[in-house]
Chain A
Amino acid sequence: MNLADISLAVLYTLVFPGFLFTAVVGLFLTWVDRKVTAVIQSRMGPPWFQPFADIGKLLSKRMIIPRGVRTVGFIGAPLLSVAGATLASVIVFLALFDPTVGFMGDLIVLVYLSMMPAIALIIGGASSRSPFGAIGASREMSMVLAYEVGFLLAVVTVIMQTGSIRFAEILAYQAQNGAVLWSLSGFIAAAVMILCMQAKLGFLPFDISEADTELIGGPLAEYSGVGLALFKLSRAMMFFFLPVFVVLIFTGAPQLNLLSILGFLVKLLMVLVLLILIKITHARLRLDQALRFFWTKVGLAGLVAVAFALLGL
């Protein structure tokens, strides 16, 4: 590990496929989200620079730290959220751009890191001395136990079909043997993963922990200024790298020709628009309805997908 390696690692993490790249593209995709929402709601939406203006404005506000909060948890939670999102996005994009950088088991690390923003929300909510934060944190804990089951079962299906837990190898397998999506188990696993991703991104109908009108922002109720900006930034980053992850893991990496890259972008856009359309046409579920949905229907579908993958379908 010499200085060149360390500086390259820092560059990867902070600039190119890491923080800056994912944050900028993620914020742009939140604009796409708001514009599609506006079109369906028959109005003009915000201009293209709106998410950047929002983050800039949040950075210019004073962060109020209420008296009596647990300072370490309160201040550490947004940092943890952004750190988890950054590192997860580095793994996803490096597997795409530079497949030699990776290690055995980095898929598992990726799944674990993509859970960091939810854990950070729980810590932040529990540290803010507010009943809204406490209820939001407990709801988020229940939701994490619910949607991670389906997410992991879908990932297990892919691992069983491709026979590897290294992300770059999964992409290489799909480049040779065709996408996982076209098998029965792969198709069911993709549907399961898209539903779990809706909950992971905190979108309706599953945004139970951050219910704006019920819980006043839930765990985010006491955050302002830089803390809120970091949470929103990590949400934007997740909105970028999670759909990319789904498209990559189920259909493989695009080859280096224009048609293949365009096909990848079209698939990404389709996944995004599907998530947005489900978000704006549904009402929020109650916590027990959501838990029942994830544990019985989605969990069962995931188990069926794993069973089919075992049988080789």
Chain B
Amino acid sequence: MFRHTISELKEALVCLKAGQVTLHYPFEPSLVEDTFRGRPVLNTRKCMCCGACANACPARLITLTDSDGIRALHFELGRCTYCGNCRDVCPQEAIEMSMQFETSTANPEDLVIHAEFYLQTCRDCGAVVGTQREVDVVREKLSNSPVHTNYAGYFDLCITCRRKQAIHAPSLTLEVVP
């Protein structure tokens, strides 16, 4: 028992070699690596409110609600698991996982992102086509294509009215040969 005590005391003196390993956290910043996934931040200039993130979120905290001409995008980041799925599927790269981890709060409302976008309604029947931003993005992507002028009239129609228009449109390339 006493030999054990002496060896333990020697071990205690050896531990002194490590010095002090404490990170003086609040007085020194704690550095995170580049790939750290902190609180998600939405860039509302790029977002087109398509709902891909809402589909991908495992905690189902992203909701899209339509109400008179406005589509509301609502993130309840209190439940976020910081998986980064929303950032991975966003076609506009509008979501970024910032480096912020000091997100404590007494009120869950402080961790909400709420964005509202105007809706584009169909000029014939009034149904919802999508947000105006989505339509603008599609219009811009198609503007580089050589056949874009053929579809100029379709952007403000809903899918039903588009079909009606397409069924009765003059045929472009085919001639039926008996």
Alpha-carbon distance A66/B21, docked complex (angstroms): 42
User: Is the Cβ of A42 less than 8 Å from the Cβ of B12?
Assistant: no
Q: How many residues of chain A get a CB closer than 8 Å to chain B's CBs? A: 13
Q: Which of A44, A280, A282 contacts B5 (CB 8 A)?
A: A282
Q: Which of B8, B18, B21 contacts A282 (CB 8 A)?
A: B8
User: Is the Cβ of A40 less than 8 Å from the Cβ of B12?
Assistant: yes
User: Is the Cβ of A277 less than 8 Å from the Cβ of B15?
Assistant: no
User: Which of the listed residues A40, A44, A280 has the most CB atoms from chain B within 10 Å of its own CB?
Assistant: A40
Q: Which of A278, A281, A297 contacts B11 (CB 8 A)?
A: A281
Alpha-carbon distance A278/B21, docked complex (angstroms): 23
- B52 to nearest A CB, angstroms? 47
CB contacts (< 8 Å) of B1 on chain A: these are 293, 297
User: Is the Cβ of B21 less than 8 Å from the Cβ of A42?
Assistant: yes
- Chain B proximity mask over A265-292: 1 for CB below 8 Å, otherwise 0: 0000000000001101110000000000
CB contacts (< 8 Å) of B11 on chain A: these are 281
A43 part of interface (Cβ distance < 8 Å) = yes
CB contacts (< 8 Å) of B12 on chain A: these are 40, 277, 280-281
Alpha-carbon distance A42/B15, docked complex (angstroms): 7
B22 part of interface (Cβ distance < 8 Å) = yes
Q: Which of A15-58 contact B (CB under 8 A)?
A: 39-44
- A196 to nearest B CB, angstroms? 15
Q: Which of B5, B8, B22 contacts A43 (CB 8 A)?
A: B22
User: Is the Cβ of A281 less than 8 Å from the Cβ of B8?
Assistant: yes
Interface of A is mostly: helix
Give the residue name and chain of the B residue nearest to A276 (CB). Answer: B12
Alpha-carbon distance A143/B58, docked complex (angstroms): 56
Alpha-carbon distance A281/B16, docked complex (angstroms): 13
User: Is the Cβ of B8 less than 8 Å from the Cβ of A41?
Assistant: no
User: Is the Cβ of A278 less than 8 Å from the Cβ of B16?
Assistant: no
- Chain A proximity mask over B4-29: 1 for CB below 8 Å, otherwise 0: 01001101100110111110000000
Alpha-carbon distance A280/B5, docked complex (angstroms): 11
User: Is the Cβ of A43 less than 8 Å from the Cβ of B20?
Assistant: yes
- A272 to nearest B CB, angstroms? 15
- B66 to nearest A CB, angstroms? 53
Alpha-carbon distance A282/B20, docked complex (angstroms): 21
- Chain B proximity mask over A128-165: 1 for CB below 8 Å, otherwise 0: 00000000000000000000000000000000000000
User: Which of the listed residues A278, A281, A293 has the most CB atoms from chain B within 10 Å of its own CB?
Assistant: A281
- B24 to nearest A CB, angstroms? 8
User: Is the Cβ of A41 less than 8 Å from the Cβ of B15?
Assistant: yes
User: Is the Cβ of B16 less than 8 Å from the Cβ of A44?
Assistant: no
Alpha-carbon distance A246/B26, docked complex (angstroms): 43
CB contacts (< 8 Å) of A43 on chain B: these are 20-22
- B86 to nearest A CB, angstroms? 39
Give the residue name and chain of the A residue nearest to B17 (CB). Answer: A42
Q: Which of A40, A280, A282 contacts B16 (CB 8 A)?
A: A40
CB contacts (< 8 Å) of B22 on chain A: these are 42-44
CB contacts (< 8 Å) of A40 on chain B: these are 12, 15-16
- B133 to nearest A CB, angstroms? 53
- A42 to nearest B CB, angstroms? 4
- B28 to nearest A CB, angstroms? 13
Give the residue name and chain of the A residue nearest to B8 (CB). Answer: A281
A-B contact pairs, 27 of them (CB 8 A): A39-B16, A40-B12, A40-B15, A40-B16, A41-B15, A42-B15, A42-B18, A42-B20, A42-B21, A42-B22, A43-B21, A43-B22, A44-B20, A44-B22, A277-B9, A278-B5, A278-B8, A278-B9, A280-B12, A281-B5, A281-B8, A281-B9, A281-B11, A282-B5, A282-B8, A293-B1, A297-B1
Residues of B within 8 A of A (CB): 1, 5, 8-9, 11-12, 15-16, 18-22
Residues of A within 8 A of B (CB): 39-44, 277-278, 280-282, 293, 297
